[in-house]
Structure 1
């Protein structure tokens, strides 16, 4: 290799090394935002009192200057979809989390994304039914659970276990003060919709977030 090519190769290697070093030591904010996964809801096995404290703190550390925030609204008892507006007011409702509550039976949590507006909210139950009907049961018990959930949704069951909303800290605090609401947990203002995980706060999570027994009879 002649002197010119050798110098060119050496310079190219130095540039590559510099790029790698900068990429490791000084990641951009864009890289950081996608490397971190935000979560809403209690961790598995978490003490519920600890989670409720975390949820309250997530609002206390925010201010009006943060603008609109993504938040999970959880209830003392599950509610119907037509009761949501009476609880959360006029904030943007982005996602409903459905679950048929049965004694000693583990049922799936089905999430339904909703567009802005009350018409989309009113249509959400139908979308939930379609999603449940598409679930694959691996045995007769699972098939029976899915069928029971479809029946419940057709009868407008109290199947809403949580709601994802977007609002200001003042709006979220107002929601948190509603009698039906057990917790409102907000994400930081830079959280991106679709890039955070959600774990439901089930009504039966009294002391610890632990899945209960699954040996009860499934109604048919």
Structure 2
């Protein structure tokens, strides 16, 4: 009988513990994961003409709602030139990629806030690649030449993440040297959307270019 009584007590305790867990779960639900379905930039394999049309459709030239946007340039530009092209629309990120013929070089994003940090951004981009430059395989040599050219303030900016009223983003899309501007809905939150810049050499489809060229020393 004592064993039977102990079993009843154990079962009662287990049931009570389960109920407590359910109550705690109801009053303290797990934190939902951030939704990251928004994105700026073309999809892999997308036709460039389709992306350019989609980017244009995302703009509302009469709206004063503030939105995040992605600027694509006709060709690679320096950081300060990117600042000049975007005018009064503030830049939050610069997207760097060193152009080397028939070589796939890395894309590096640098957060910026104002003209001074924009001027320093190429150096920050270079510093992010220096960690791999001691490896003398192909990728190490690619990173080394990219880091060197970025440190020399090369014309290597391929895109910029910006934020401004839709009307200003639409006006920016008409600036000579700006290839396209794509805007997100006004409720998009920075850090919760992906960005993929359109590269200047991508003229037909968004596909990787050749990677069989000689890697220069500098």
Q: TM-score, normalised by structure 1?
A: 0.81
Deviation at 1:124, TM superposition (A): 0.9
1:49 is aligned to 49
2:194 is aligned to 197
2:75 to 74, 77, 80: 77
- Are 2:127 and 1:133 equivalent residues in the alignment? no
Q: Indicate the RMSD between aligned Cα atoms, in angstroms.
A: 3.0
Deviation at 1:60, TM superposition (A): 3.2
Question: In 2, Cα distance between the equivalents of 1:83 and 1:61?
Answer: 24
Question: In 2, Cα distance between the equivalents of 1:147 and 1:106?
Answer: 13
2:104 to 90, 106, 122: 106
2:176 is aligned to 179
- Are 2:208 and 1:211 equivalent residues in the alignment? yes
Sort the Cα spacing of 1:213 and 1:81 in 2 relative to 1 into closer, same or farther, 3 A: same
2:143 to 140, 143, 146: 146
Question: In 1, Cα distance between the equivalents of 2:82 and 2:164?
Answer: 15
Larger C-alpha radius of gyration, 1 or 2?
2
Residues 86-105 of structure 1, C-alpha deviations (whole Å, 9 max, x = no match): 20012221101110011110
Deviation at 1:122, TM superposition (A): 1.3
Gaps of 5+ in 1: 24-29
Sort the Cα spacing of 1:173 and 1:48 in 2 relative to 1 into closer, same or farther, 3 A: same
Residues 58-78 of structure 1, C-alpha deviations (whole Å, 9 max, x = no match): 1138822x2x21111001101
Count how many residue pairs are aligned between Structure 1 and Structure 2. Answer: 206
Deviation at 1:136, TM superposition (A): 6.9
Deviation at 1:31, TM superposition (A): 5.7
Question: In 1, Cα distance between the equivalents of 2:59 and 2:197?
Answer: 18
Sort the Cα spacing of 1:38 and 1:139 in 2 relative to 1 into closer, same or farther, 3 A: farther
Residues 132-167 of structure 1, C-alpha deviations (whole Å, 9 max, x = no match): 112478752111111111221122211001100111
Name whichever of 147-156 and 89-98 sits farther off.
Answer: 147-156
Question: In 1, Cα distance between the equivalents of 2:166 and 2:215?
Answer: 41
Q: TM-score, normalised by structure 2?
A: 0.82
Gaps of 5+ in 2: 1-7
Question: In 2, Cα distance between the equivalents of 1:82 and 1:61?
Answer: 26
